[in-house]
Amino acid sequence: MTGPVGVGFIGAGMISDQYLSNLTKFPDVEVVILGDIVVERAKSQAEKYGVAEFGTGEDVLKHPRVQVVVNLTLPQTHAEISSQALAAGKHVWSEKPIGLDRESTAALLKQADDAGLRLGIAPDTVLGPGVQTAKRAIDRGLIGTPLFATTQMQYQGPDLFHPNPSFLFAKGAGPLLDMGPYYFTALVNLFGSVKKVAALGLKGRETRTVKVGPDVGAEFPVEVPSTIQVLTAFEAGQQSQSLLSNDSSLFRQGIFEVYGTEGTLIVPDPNMFEGTITLIKPIPGMDGDGKPQEQETIELELEGVVTGRGLGLLDMVRAIAEGRDHRANGKVGYHVLDVMLSAEESAAQGGAFLDIESSVDAIPTMPLDFDPFAQTL
Ligand SMILES: NC(=O)c1ccc[n+]([C@@H]2O[C@H](COP(=O)([O-])OP(=O)(O)OC[C@H]3O[C@@H](n4cnc5c(N)ncnc54)[C@H](O)[C@@H]3O)[C@@H](O)[C@H]2O)c1
């Protein structure tokens, strides 16, 4: 590849704004066409972001200047559309989850490998300065040996703001498959492969209603647990507990704490590219009243350039040019899916621990000099 890499979108819905606002600014990529099954949507997004062409998904697949297809369709069609893009000879960046089942997702990885094409999988938030600064802090030994983590994501649910929320409560979503990728991908970036998981899940309600947009009041079924609690054991010895709930009146999201032998790190929300990173160090000994001393709270400086969605795709196209693996790769996407499906299966069975068969190589930290706004291709 020389010069900016041609990018085409399939799916121009809600999240396309975030991708477009970045990918139209990175010099290493050029968005050449937007496609959607509802062509009007592609047209209005193309006009909004100054993209020259729009059309259907098929128009994107056959476009000669598209080298990477950005798959922003719904989880139910991620694997199918990604497979069509690979078959058309395009690299793929797909929203999460990579697919809905192990078989078709494994086949997708093989298809990409056989064709010598790259498969990149969201989330790329974890490659942003927030989680990456925390990763460097752990690598530098600031909390000693990491022992365990706790993560929390709870609120009333995405039907609060999404005009088309039924897919978020259908098979392939729920808080686990919709939001779990942020938390589990961040955990895998920090601790490596998962060895086993156990989970308990429940449904707060059997049906819900659309709360915003043209379909307000429409009822839809809740197909998967809308609250799930997962216990995870990692190959390297760490453990974590994760609560993901769409049934909580209390809004509490982005809780991600890592506890080590020498301190605790409060990691920013893995669904964000930045945030506050706090290191807590115990102060040894007792104070004058014989009580344990206050802890020392140190705010760490955020390292790197904050951008947004599209960062993982940028790492992927630069990785192709540099002949290295990209960080948000298909193997990571598959492993995270495997962990989440196992958690779902464990919950369905009442909470037994299940072994995870897939694994990933250690994911390299983003280099400090990675500048999304540099022209490198
Ligand atoms: N909305 C968010 O805040 C958010 C955040 C992160 C990730 N995501 C993920 O991004 C993906 C898209 O979510 P969204 O919120 O943009 O949904 P959306 O419903 O707003 O948009 C999806 C778009 O894809 C189009 N589409 C569906 N099937 C298609 C096909 N076969 N060919 C061409 N176009 C097709 C639809 O017409 C629609 O315009 C989902 O996987 C979601 O999990 C969404």
Q: State whether the beta carbon of 73 lies less than 6 angstroms from ligand 1.
A: yes
Q: Are residues 136 and 252 in the same domain?
A: yes
What percentage of the chain carries pLDDT values higher than 70?
99
Q: Are residues 280 and 230 in the same domain?
A: yes
CA torsion sign for 11, 187, 361, 102 is negative
Spacing, Cα 22 to ligand 1 middle (Å): 17
Spacing, Cα 89 to ligand 1 middle (Å): 22
Q: Are residues 157 and 285 in the same domain?
A: yes
Spacing, Cα 155 to ligand 1 middle (Å): 21
Q: State whether the beta carbon of 43 lies less than 6 angstroms from ligand 1.
A: no
Q: State whether the beta carbon of 95 lies less than 6 angstroms from ligand 1.
A: yes
CA torsion sign for 304, 306, 312, 318 is negative
The predicted pLDDT at position 1 comes to: 55
Q: Are residues 115 and 134 in the same domain?
A: no
Q: Which of 99, 121, 143 is the last residue of a domain?
A: 121
In a domain, 147, yes or no: yes
In a domain, 191, yes or no: yes
pLDDT at residue 37 above 70? yes
The predicted pLDDT at position 121 comes to: 98
Q: Are residues 148 and 10 in the same domain?
A: no
Q: Which of 121, 140, 166 is the last residue of a domain?
A: 121
pLDDT at residue 287 above 90? no
Q: Are residues 271 and 258 in the same domain?
A: yes
Spacing, Cα 174 to ligand 1 middle (Å): 15
Helices 102-115 and 75-87: angle between axes, nearest 10 degrees: 20
Q: Are residues 163 and 236 in the same domain?
A: yes
Domain residue limits at 294: 126-302+337-355
Q: State whether the beta carbon of 37 lies less than 6 angstroms from ligand 1.
A: yes
Across the chain, what does the average pLDDT equal? 96
Mean pLDDT of the region 50-75: 98
Q: State whether the beta carbon of 368 lies less than 6 angstroms from ligand 1.
A: no
Q: What is the pLDDT of residues 160-204, one digit of tens each?
A: 999 999 999 998 899 999 999 999 999 999 999 999 999 999 999
Note whether 149 and 258 are within 8 A (CB).
yes
In a domain, 221, yes or no: yes
In a domain, 86, yes or no: yes
Q: State whether the beta carbon of 75 lies less than 6 angstroms from ligand 1.
A: yes
Residue with the smallest CA separation from ligand 1 atom 44 is 15
Q: What is the pLDDT of residues 118-134, one digit of tens each?
A: 999 999 999 999 999 99
Q: Are residues 107 and 190 in the same domain?
A: no
Q: Which of 121, 156, 186 is the last residue of a domain?
A: 121
Displacement of CA 337 from its chain's centroid (Å): 11
Q: Are residues 175 and 252 in the same domain?
A: yes
Q: Are residues 135 and 103 in the same domain?
A: no
Q: State whether the beta carbon of 57 lies less than 6 angstroms from ligand 1.
A: yes
Q: Are residues 179 and 100 in the same domain?
A: no
In a domain, 185, yes or no: yes
Task: Give, in order, the Cα–Cα distances in Å from 191 to each of 75, 260, 363.
Answer: 26, 12, 10
Cis peptide before 75 (omega within 30 of 0): no
Cis peptide before 367 (omega within 30 of 0): no
In a domain, 325, yes or no: no
Q: State whether the beta carbon of 160 lies less than 6 angstroms from ligand 1.
A: no
Query: Which residue has 């299966």 as its token pair?
Result: 345
Spacing, Cα 44 to ligand 1 middle (Å): 15
In a domain, 32, yes or no: yes
Domain containing residue 28: CATH number: 3.40.50.720
Q: How many domains does the chain have?
A: 2
Q: Are residues 160 and 233 in the same domain?
A: yes
Q: Give the residue, out of 36, 39, 168, with the most ligand 1 atoms within 8 A of its beta carbon, to mutate for a pocket test.
A: 36
- Cβ burial of 224 (10 Å; 0-12, 13-18, 19+) is buried
Note whether 121 and 98 are within 8 A (CB).
yes
Q: Give the residue, out of 95, 96, 253, with the most ligand 1 atoms within 8 A of its beta carbon, to mutate for a pocket test.
A: 95
Q: State whether the beta carbon of 36 lies less than 6 angstroms from ligand 1.
A: yes
In a domain, 232, yes or no: yes
What tokens appear for 220 in the block? Answer: 């839809």
Domain containing residue 193: CATH number: 3.30.360.10
Spacing, Cα 297 to ligand 1 middle (Å): 40
Q: State whether the beta carbon of 14 lies less than 6 angstroms from ligand 1.
A: yes
The answer to whether the pTM exceeds 0.85 is yes
Q: What is the pLDDT of residues 332-372, one digit of tens each?
A: 999 999 999 999 999 999 999 999 999 999 999 999 999 99
Spacing, Cα 15 to ligand 1 middle (Å): 7
